[in-house]
Chain A
């Protein structure tokens, strides 16, 4: 079963606008990661935020984490057509013998030129 739920499921914006995607999860986590996927291909790691962090930046990306609400948001500023992709949040929790990523359903972002 999926750990998280992304909101919205689909988002369409114009180039230059900001895009905000939200993720909620259900269980305690060690960290939360965001991935991008272009057209059903492999996933690209964007950013990792640890459970004791509240905000993290990487270039045009800003991620926030609220562990009390079990939610995270990904903000892409000054979006470009090349940002068109599906974005997934994934939680990472230590298992007894390894680790695994639990992904949400994803947000399909379309950036119109």
Chain B
């Protein structure tokens, strides 16, 4: 079975632009989470979606938004990009939401904001 896939792998944007990142979970997984990993740091939680509903949101501004589609794939949108948004954006899927659920991570999308 294919793992979590993310697209694109790399992206270069300029300040003020908008970006959309995409994630396809493992088949059968209904929960998708997004994390931001700045260089040299651990990942930070942005959103979790389960059954197309937002189930959690991290400490990120409203410029960050996400949604989950009927096929459980997900998009992360970031508006009005700032230099500080440059990071590796990781998507993770799990069978369901809840503690103890193993999350399977995709390879990430590396975003560079100039």
Q: Which of A30, A45, A101 has the most CB of B within 10 A?
A: A101
Q: Which residues of A contact B56 (CB under 8 A)?
A: 95, 97-100
A58 — which chain B residues lie within 8 A by C-beta? none
Count how many chain A residues have C-beta atoms less than 8 Å from C-beta atoms of the other chain: 31
Interface pair A94/B98, CB less than 8 Å apart: yes
Is the beta-carbon distance between A98 and B48 smaller than 8 angstroms? yes
Q: Does B33 contact A (CB under 8 A)?
A: yes
B contact residues vs A (CB 8 Å cutoff): 4, 33, 35, 39, 41-45, 48, 50, 55-56, 58-59, 88, 90, 92, 97-108, 110
Residues on A facing B (Cβ under 8 Å): 1-2, 4, 30-31, 33, 35, 40-45, 48, 50, 88, 90, 92-95, 97-106
